[in-house]
Amino acid sequence: MTVDIADRPELAPELRLVPHAFRRTFGRPAEGVWYAPGVLNLLGGAIKVPAKWGAIVAGDRRDDGLLELVSVNRPTERALLPSDDVPAWAAGVRARGGAALMCSVDLPRGSGLSASEALRTAVELALKDLAGEPFEEARTEALDLPGQRLLVVDTRIRRTEPQVERPYTRQAEDLGVALTAYHHAQDPDPEQDAVVEAALVAGARGASMLVDPPGRPAVALVDADLVPAVKKAITKAVEIAPRYLTIVPGPFKTEALR
């Protein structure tokens, strides 16, 4: 007898939570559960760094060709694709093949780790796996940053107008220098400018704005022992206390369980 994924004790709690919510909502066990990491897009996406936070979806196939999405955090905001009426949390998800999926994203949209991209990747992984198709992992650049951290700064600012990214060609090999050069080539909001300036004054190796609509986040490359001081300097420089996430770069890894 096959054990429901929601009841498999060897799995991490977060991997059991989403199929459990699916079973509670739909009255049947999920056929599988799929995970994709959040992505820190540095230098306009030229370097993609995965994070331990991301998106998890659980579900099964539908025979009518429609894609039904339900959020663990917003169960009343269901999306049935294709449709022109899609809740904000599901924006950008493409319908290709029928499935019912319960979705959970660790981070709010616009926080700096491309929560929307993580959800799209997890949904795509689920749809391809359910259809028996191979899934190609995203290409990421291996970063050798011993003793350093990437400090993601969610300014908590959300704006409806898009933040247009200007073309940028990387010239410096040093990542810190490249980050700061990228920032100066863009048109940052005042809050992003304040974060970058405070981080650099406090000793960061480099810093830049991040493009992650609808937010206005930023990132700094910081020596591990300076992280507390840089966070303190940034918090002092802005009016709204930011949220911080510290990333140690690692390999990009999706996961599929059935």
Cα–Cα separations (whole angstroms), residue 159 to 155, 190, 215: 11, 13, 6
Number of domains in the chain: 2
191 and 156 in one domain? yes
10 and 134 in one domain? yes
Query: Residue 144: its pLDDT value, please?
Result: 81
Cβ contact 218:112 at 8 Å = yes
165 and 102 in one domain? no
pLDDT over threshold 50, residue 15: yes
Mean pLDDT calculated for residue range 18-31: 94
Q: What gap in Å lies between CA 27 and CA 25, rounded to an integer? A: 6
172 and 132 in one domain? no
Q: Which two tokens stand for residue 19?
A: 């199929």
The reply to whether 143 falls in a domain is no
12 and 118 in one domain? yes
CATH code for the domain in which residue 190 is found: 3.30.70.890
Cβ contact 82:95 at 8 Å = yes
Query: Residue 1: its pLDDT value, please?
Result: 40
The reply to whether 229 falls in a domain is yes
The reply to whether 46 falls in a domain is yes
The packing angle between helices 227-237 and 190-201, to 10°, is 140
CATH code for the domain in which residue 91 is found: 3.30.230.10
pLDDT over threshold 60, residue 2: no
pLDDT in tens, 53-102: 899 999 999 999 999 999 998 888 888 999 888 888 888 898 788 899 99
Query: Residue 61: its pLDDT value, please?
Result: 94
pLDDT in tens, 132-172: 988 876 666 667 888 999 999 999 999 999 999 999 999 98
9 and 127 in one domain? yes
pLDDT in tens, 100-109: 999 999 888 8
Structural domain of residue 205, as residue ranges?
A: 148-247
111 and 129 in one domain? yes
Mean pLDDT calculated for residue range 103-131: 92
pLDDT in tens, 215-235: 999 999 999 999 999 999 999
The reply to whether 130 falls in a domain is yes
84 and 49 in one domain? yes
pTM of the prediction?
A: 0.86
158 and 81 in one domain? no
pLDDT in tens, 171-190: 988 999 999 999 999 999 99
152 and 195 in one domain? yes
202 and 134 in one domain? no
63 and 99 in one domain? yes
Cβ-count burial of 158 within 10 angstroms (0-12 exposed, 13-18 middle, 19+ buried)? middle
The reply to whether 207 falls in a domain is yes
